[in-house]
Structure 1
């Protein structure tokens, strides 16, 4: 089956898409994106993702105009046309095409929109068994709250984790733990859940927010405050959150075993609650 994609406001064959060599997304990473989970053909929290896309555009001064009109319907159509049962839909907006210069072009560049789908198996094994992680210095820019195409810091940290037989790099600025390369980080100590506050040092993940809401609904105390590497390594439990990986327990960080080195009781409880939402 030939994959169909969204290119600007048209759904076309992937082979028909041509991106200009002076697209600012290609040359500067000057653009934004979202990844939306699909479970049993249904998207999860599409509205929240598109709201964050709109916020990211505003922060980068990208004028969306009427781009958001009909976008949700087009993404749902893509999922159906490509026969996606479980997986993701990726949507990206670049500032557009203009002669290469760091400053914005005086010519009115029209944003370029692309979106595509990918069928994926749910990562049940790592959700049930947990993962090992690496500690890595956070070298990214200071606006991690904006979901931009500038991902090289995360790319290098993720590859470092893979090179060391780990699933994820947990990032820290000096001694303060921020997040993972593509995940948010939670720890549990004395039955209290902690995660870094949603400021400019992390992306306020949709799954992150969902887990915080679940904690509050279930009477689990959750605290959004900074914690350091020592607190991380001394946690009773830990887990990562992210689109489509959902909630993944942390068993070990480098040579330090968290808790009993297996998914903890509160982590598993939150997993069950999250699974009810997506199912």
Structure 2
């Protein structure tokens, strides 16, 4: 995936090779920051407002004060697309940290936050969307504030790597017997026509695509139950799928080498994929949604 040359840092634009930070940077040394990943389709952001709102919520939760307004940041991110002549599918990475200061656990005084954003190409993974993926299950070893999209992702990274080493796309996390989410996505179980997923508590990230799923199911009159399900429930699921900005609505057809139902993407999953594509104004889709 190629990274475009012009990046946004603070409120100015510069070439990516010119961006430097001191080694005493809070994000680097403490993971003291938050971030967002925003999907781009045909050169336009999808769910940008939702991502910006969550960035500000995350920043407030860890007591980082932003001096830039939501409107100014949004305008600058749109300018970033123009500056790079971005017209295809891709993603934006946006990071905010407490700033650069001598290393000390206590917050630095009068230190401006560091912010930067860049974009890169990211074609849609048609194969995964159409045929589904495999997942493994892992104990959820993360902290108690998962609703904050923080830079502290080591447990997520380890779980995702374990999944890869087992030939899987994702790791489904569980704690105290109940599934929370995946290492980099929200996860849903379908049984008897009803969708089940973990409640939006501090134990999971409140996904922007997840929020859109709640609108889709309302429009489609599909029962949606924010009720946790267990690892044992997965083996009896009619369908299983995950959502994220980069994975869209991806079917899960196998978990821990055990097939889900008939091993094919289910009817409700396909309905939501179609709703997603219509909502995101995706023009040229090759994903088949025969239900």
CA distance in 2, matches of 1:81, 1:233: 49
Measured against aligned partners, the alpha-carbon deviations of 1:20-69 in whole angstroms (never above 9, x if no partner) come to 11110110000011111101111111111100000001100001122534
Matches within 5 A, 1:129-208: 129-208=131-210
Contact 1:79–1:89 (Cα < 8 Å) also in 2: no
Measured against aligned partners, the alpha-carbon deviations of 1:126-174 in whole angstroms (never above 9, x if no partner) come to 0000000000011111100000010111000000000000000000013
CA distance in 2, matches of 1:245, 1:229: 22
Task: Quote the residue 1:94 is aligned against.
Answer: 97
Matches within 5 A, 1:210-221: 210-221=212-223
Task: Quote the residue 1:256 is aligned against.
Answer: 258
CA distance in 1, matches of 2:278, 2:142: 35
Q: How many aligned positions are there?
A: 278
Q: TM-score, normalised by structure 1?
A: 0.97
For residue 270 of structure 1, the aligned residue among 269, 272, 281 is 272
CA distance in 2, matches of 1:272, 1:65: 39
CA distance in 1, matches of 2:274, 2:218: 15
Q: What SS is found at the alignment partner of 2:70?
A: coil
Distance 1:2 1:205, change over 3 A: closer
Measured against aligned partners, the alpha-carbon deviations of 1:187-234 in whole angstroms (never above 9, x if no partner) come to 100000011011011001000111111001110000001111111221
CA distance in 2, matches of 1:24, 1:67: 22
Contact 1:57–1:63 (Cα < 8 Å) also in 2: yes
**Unaligned 5+ residue runs, structure 2?**
282-291
Q: TM-score, normalised by structure 2?
A: 0.93
Q: Alpha-carbon deviation of 1:81?
A: 2.3
CA distance in 2, matches of 1:17, 1:65: 20
**Unaligned 5+ residue runs, structure 1?**
none
CA-based RMSD: 1.2
Contact 2:4–2:120 (Cα < 8 Å) also in 1: no
